[in-house]
Each structure stands twice: as C-alpha cells, then as structure tokens.
Structure 1
C-alpha cells in the first residue's frame, strides 16, 4: 500500500576539498573556505531534521579523495549519528572521488546508515519514521576510481514496494564538463520500467533531466571553485500516496561563488567606474543570508575608458580597492576581468581602402577559422621555428585559436592608428 513520504536527495559533498590560489584573501575568508564543505554538510543535517524527512539518499563523492581524511570521516559519522537520533535513515553510494578501494578508518556507523557495495546492484527498503514501508532504494558504489561500464543497464526494479528510487553516480548524456564515468543515456533511464526516481550524482550543476520518472542531479552541496557559481544544495522530495513527486531546492552552501558584469558605456572616469563596481558588490551581497560571497566581476561594453583599462595596472588598482572594501563585508572580489571594447566603428573601418581597413579585414579572416590562424602564425614565426626551445613554445601557442587575444590585439593596434585616447 502506497503512503506519502519525504526524503532528501544530495550528492557530491566533497568533504575537505582543498582551496588554492587565495593567498591575498583575508584570513577569515580562507578559514571559511576550508570549512565550507563541512558547514554545508551540517546544514544538510539541520535541513533534514527541520523538514522531518524520512530518509536521505547520498549519490556519491561524499569525500574529495579516495584516501579520505580522518577528520572528514569523523565529522560525517557525527552528522549521521545526529540523523539517527531523529529516526532518519541514510542510503549511500560512493563515486569516482571516494571509491571503496580508498583507505578508510574503522568507524562504527549507526545501523540506520546503509552503504551500497561495489559488487552488484542492491535494493534496500526505506521506511517512514513511523515504520511504514515507503520505497525500495537501489544502488551500487564504485570499487575503483575509473568506472566506465554502463551501470544503468544493470538496474532492475524488484516487486514488493510502491515506489522505487535508483541511486547512480555517473554521466548521463555525455556531459563534456565531467569525466565519462558510468556513462548512460537518458532514454536508458526513463525506459527502465519500474523506477520512479533516479537519484543521480557526479554532475555539479543541478538539473532535472526528466519528470515521471524523475531523473535528477541535485548538484554539489558547496561550490569549490569559480566554475561552480550560484546556489548549491540538495533537493527536498515529497511523494504523495498517489505517486506524485514535488521537488524543492534547498540551498546549503556557506560560501557562494558569484559573477556579474559592469558596462563602461557612458562612464567617464575611473572614480565613477569604481562606484559602479562597488554597487555591483552590494547588489550581489544582498541575499546571502549570512553566507560569504566569492565574486568575479567583468568589465564589458564600449566606452571612453577602454584605452585606460587596457593597461593592466589600471585594472589591478581597481581590484585592490574592491578587495580593501571586501574586508569590511561578506564579499570578496577575487577577479576583475576586462572585456571592454573600443568605441571605434569596426564596420566602417573594415570598409575603408586603407591600412587600417586591411588590418581589420585580416583579423576578421583569422578569427573565422583555426586553419587560417595556424597558417598565419606559422608563417609569421617561421624564422624562429627551428630554434630548439622557442620552436616548441611557439607551436604550443597556435594549437588553439586565441580569439580573445586576437580581438584585443586588433583593438589595441587600430586604436593606436586612429589616435584614440591621445587627443589626435
């Protein structure tokens, strides 16, 4: 008989994940970053207790390394003990970062915690806290870091439960941003009869790939680098007696990575630009609810400040001012990138029968294709290509089309030809 129940789906806790490249950040921020994965884990427990969930499913990569740190294991065990005290069960699979082959401490875990083996697909009953059977939970852990088999094909729903939850740590649909571990297709999951919810892990951006059956990535619980922007957390899942599924995202992160863009259009001075950047910091910090923010700001648009901002010292000075301000707030600007452009009319220049026009047309041709750029680059450095060290270095520079470099070079050279910013 089907009964309503509630569970949390989380994955990719990456406990004790290292943070590098923050030597200039205030000490308080560095300490906060080091502790952030643990803070997110504690928030996960707090949320489960506050929301009175029946159980948790954790879909892999709880730890950041196969040889997991002892403090990470001890802290996680403490959180599972807290959950056990509230009658909340935990179902766990291990992924590529924390395979079962890694070194583990001999810890006695609560009986309410079940860790799936790497030998075969297992199924375990999941109960409501009042003892009613809610679902069967299925899973398999990674035995080693690299699992390239399609594990999804091995899942089979067993009779005896009204709802079936399959836990899988893998790459669905060939996401190029993540390693192709346990690869499978969405059709293989949705076509696997009997399963109502695929609790996925491995991809760090939350995605609902399908509904009925639900195929869900919750993302990781704490952003660990500039590529992992925005809210991070878990899904609170409510299932009705009729089998209807309702998902609610619950933020857990303690440090949030954010990005914003500030246009230089119509800005006349560096002081005015600094005020706009400070306003962006303030806006991003408004909804943090006690979190710390790591911010990357991008200067964009066309305007009179472009030539001045082309000097690295100018951007560095602005960043220094923003970081001094950040020490007083819950925000830290770790990067200020210049993507501004000249106010020159490129279409007009490209139409000219002039050196500037020819240069503009050549840059457009080079940007249009990798073959054009490689041929041009090889011809330009032909005299140096035979040098033992320089030749190797130069060849590495034309392996990829440097669109950003090419655009900046065009901006700089044509700006000089036009006398932009020099009063000519």
Structure 2
C-alpha cells in the first residue's frame, strides 16, 4: 500500500525550435511561432501549479539541438527554479536532440532537479510536497545523438518504494515516422516490473498499455503541418492502491490543422468558395481563440477537377483565402493558410466507357485493374520507374511505399493520362 500522489509527464519540448521555412510568412506569424515553444513551456509551469503536482517528469528532447541555445537554457532554468521554490521536484532525461555531449552553458540548477546520466539507471526517490516518499524514478540520458542499442534492457526495479517510474526516450516497436533510436519492444517494457513508463521521442500522444502504463505524451507544441491538433502533457494521478488516472492537458500556443474540402457534387467555383470558407470558419472555432496554421486539401471527384489542375489556379485560390482570413498583424487569433493542396479526381472518363476497345478504354481498364491489386500496382510502378530506379533515393522511396500508396499513385496517374488524352482528342 502506497500513498496518493500526482505528477506531470511531458516530453519533446524542443525549445527554441527554428521553424524552418518561415521566410515567406508574415512577421506576426513568424514571431509567434518562434516564441510558441517558450509559451508552451510557460503553460507547463502554470499547469503544474494549477494541478498541484508533486513532481514533474521530462522525457527527453527538452532542447531542439545538441548545441542548445543559451536562451532555451535560461528559460528552462527559470521554470525549474520556480517549480523548486514551490517544492516540486523535476526529473529529466536527455534524448537524441539534446544529448549529454552537446554544448551546455555553465548554469546553476536547483537542488530539486535531477538530470539522469548515461549508464545503468539507479533509483532516485520522488517525494510528495509534504515530504513523504511516493516513488522511485529511474532514467538514462543519451550520451550522444545517435543511440541504437536497447536502453530499456538496462532498467531494473529496486526494492524500497511503493511505485516505480521509468523515464526513457525511445522508439517502441519501430515507429516508422521517427528515427529508430533506443529501439525496444513493448514486451520489453511490460515485463520489466515498472508501474509506469514515461516515454518520449514520438510526437503523437499514445497510451501503448495500461497496468503497467506505457505512455507517450507527444510534444508540447506542434512544429509543422505534420504535427496537427492539441499538443501537451499528461497529469498522472496515482491512488494509494496504485490505480492510475491519466488526464491530458493541452499546452499548445499555436495550433496546426489540416482540413479536407471535397468537390463532390460541386460544378461551380462559387460552391467551392463556400466550402473553403466554411472549412476555415470551422477550424477557427475549434482553435479556442488561439492562432492557427491551416492546410487545406481539396479532394473528391467532380466537374471542377480539370479547372483546378493548373498550378496558377491553386495559387490564386490560396491568395484569395489568405485575403479573406485577414492580416495576422491585426489580431491575436489569426488564421494563416499555410498551403492549399489539390488532390482531386476527374469524373469517370466518358470516352473510356464509350470505347472500351480503344486506346483510352484499354488504358483506363488496365489502370483500374492494377490499382485494385497490390501486386499489380507494385509491378506497374516498378516498370514505370525502371529508368529512375538507378537513383538510390528514388529506389528507396519506391520500396518504402505501401500497397495503398502504390494503388493511389496508379489510380491518379491513370486518371491524369485519361484527362490529358481526352483534352488532346477534343
């Protein structure tokens, strides 16, 4: 039987992220994004105070680069000092972005901050604010940016505490969207005897297992259109019997969204305009008054497909949408349209349907048959890219496509060819 306690689990702060590719955005957008990781850090501090947590766990990549900026280190020092002044401990591991061999300013850190070194993890007591011991916390920091051995295998539970919490920056079960640093299997973690694995590295919020809990909180602030939706940390409440309650808290200062607009059933630009504006308004209302970076994807099949294929048409729609949204300089809850992506399809080719034995009909039929078969799509794509396969990066790209992606490529290529041939025949 233990005692009840509460802790905050966050990871992947990436303080002072450079947000590359912002040269063409308005100054208000650029400056807000550059400050967003620090604003989210401040939200973490306020969250810890508001929830009256007993301690904080930060699971790696606090900084965006090994040679971490002085500004980021000073902001982190300020936050940890304020936490310590309220009796809150902080436990830290460093990950691949901020390894131990990176540049560090010579700063004094509060006594209530424990930064784990590299090596076999030794237990460190975590205390409630009233001084009672709540748990043992274990952790390993990356000595360098690339760590490819299974660090999870080094963790061993030591007797002496009612609750055991392991902090680790790792890729569990080989998530393909992230570098395979400190690779391990979920079974490695669940069999190790810990009550909670406080993970970092994967920027999506995920609970991989309960009892024992294996948890990724995701990052605290989205940094690109690939990191959409709420971002933040978990408040973890542990009862005297060891039951665990997770509560996610959004700390993002700027949100990134992607929204799909379909051309299905739309034959006029006026209808598309209404749908685009509705998508913007819905995204704005969901942002909770925060700034929003939005990507719009135009999809579906319909009459507008041909008129959207010209590059200048998509650029004109994007320009007008930004105009309709207003200048980010004029408000704090701006919406900036990052991009407009056209992924529409043509109506089923009448020429192909009317002349099944003609060239266009045979092309369409073969394309559909290939797209409907994983093996067929793979063979056709490899044949079409035979000359390009001499380039290693293209060969690697092709090999990494899923059957679904190959089928989509074949389908779109077939429709584009049919559309171009139809225009030429007309």
Deviates more, 1:31-40 or 1:404-413: 404-413
Change (3 A) 1:394 1:90: closer
Residue 333 of structure 1, CA deviation: 1.2
Q: Which runs of 5+ in 1 are unaligned?
A: 386-390
Provide the secondary structure at the position in 2 that maps to 1:285: helix
Residue in structure 1 matched with residue 296 of structure 2 by the alignment: 297
Deviates more, 1:19-28 or 1:334-343: 19-28
In the alignment, the residues of structure 2 paired with residue 395 and residue 103 of structure 1 have an alpha-carbon distance, to the nearest angstrom, of: 33
Alignment pair present for 1:29 and 2:37: no
Residue 45 of structure 1, CA deviation: 0.5
In the alignment, the residues of structure 2 paired with residue 418 and residue 129 of structure 1 have an alpha-carbon distance, to the nearest angstrom, of: 74
Q: Which runs of 5+ in 2 are unaligned?
A: 328-332
In the alignment, the residues of structure 2 paired with residue 184 and residue 415 of structure 1 have an alpha-carbon distance, to the nearest angstrom, of: 48
Residue 265 of structure 1, CA deviation: 1.5
Change (3 A) 1:3 1:325: same
Residue 311 of structure 1, CA deviation: 1.2
In the alignment, the residues of structure 1 paired with residue 104 and residue 350 of structure 2 have an alpha-carbon distance, to the nearest angstrom, of: 61
Deviates more, 1:64-73 or 1:16-25: 16-25
Q: With structure 1 as the length reference, what TM-score do the two structures score?
A: 0.90
Residue in structure 2 matched with residue 323 of structure 1 by the alignment: 322
Provide the secondary structure at the position in 2 that maps to 1:301: strand
Deviates more, 1:396-405 or 1:258-267: 396-405
Alignment of 1:126-137 (within 5 A): 126-137=126-137
Change (3 A) 1:268 1:251: same
Residue in structure 1 matched with residue 199 of structure 2 by the alignment: 200
Change (3 A) 1:106 1:30: same
Residue 22 of structure 1, CA deviation: 2.5
Residue 398 of structure 1, CA deviation: 10
| Count of aligned pairs | 411
Residue 139 of structure 1, CA deviation: 0.6
Alignment pair present for 1:107 and 2:115: no
* Contact 2:99/2:144, CA 8 A, preserved across alignment: yes
Alignment of 1:137-286 (within 5 A): 137-193=137-193, 195-286=194-285
In the alignment, the residues of structure 2 paired with residue 157 and residue 346 of structure 1 have an alpha-carbon distance, to the nearest angstrom, of: 69
In the alignment, the residues of structure 2 paired with residue 320 and residue 336 of structure 1 have an alpha-carbon distance, to the nearest angstrom, of: 10
Residue 365 of structure 1, CA deviation: 5.7
Residue in structure 2 matched with residue 388 of structure 1 by the alignment: none
Superimposed CA distance per residue, residues 51-110 of structure 1 (whole angstroms, 9 cap, x where no aligned partner) = 110000001110111110000000110111111122111000001111111110010011
Residue in structure 2 matched with residue 41 of structure 1 by the alignment: 41
Residue in structure 1 matched with residue 344 of structure 2 by the alignment: 340
In the alignment, the residues of structure 2 paired with residue 376 and residue 409 of structure 1 have an alpha-carbon distance, to the nearest angstrom, of: 11
Q: With structure 2 as the length reference, what TM-score do the two structures score?
A: 0.90
Change (3 A) 1:131 1:174: same
Provide the secondary structure at the position in 1 that maps to 2:124: strand
* Contact 1:204/1:220, CA 8 A, preserved across alignment: yes
Residue in structure 1 matched with residue 5 of structure 2 by the alignment: 5
Residue 373 of structure 1, CA deviation: 3.1
In the alignment, the residues of structure 1 paired with residue 262 and residue 380 of structure 2 have an alpha-carbon distance, to the nearest angstrom, of: 32
Provide the secondary structure at the position in 1 that maps to 2:285: coil
Alignment of 1:335-374 (within 5 A): 335-344=339-348, 349=353, 352-364=356-368, 367=371, 368-374=376-382
Provide the secondary structure at the position in 2 that maps to 1:29: helix
In the alignment, the residues of structure 2 paired with residue 392 and residue 405 of structure 1 have an alpha-carbon distance, to the nearest angstrom, of: 20
In the alignment, the residues of structure 1 paired with residue 397 and residue 232 of structure 2 have an alpha-carbon distance, to the nearest angstrom, of: 38
Deviates more, 1:36-45 or 1:270-279: 270-279
Residue 34 of structure 1, CA deviation: 0.5
Residue 291 of structure 1, CA deviation: 1.8
In the alignment, the residues of structure 2 paired with residue 398 and residue 54 of structure 1 have an alpha-carbon distance, to the nearest angstrom, of: 48
In the alignment, the residues of structure 2 paired with residue 223 and residue 248 of structure 1 have an alpha-carbon distance, to the nearest angstrom, of: 19
Change (3 A) 1:350 1:233: farther
Residue 320 of structure 1, CA deviation: 0.6
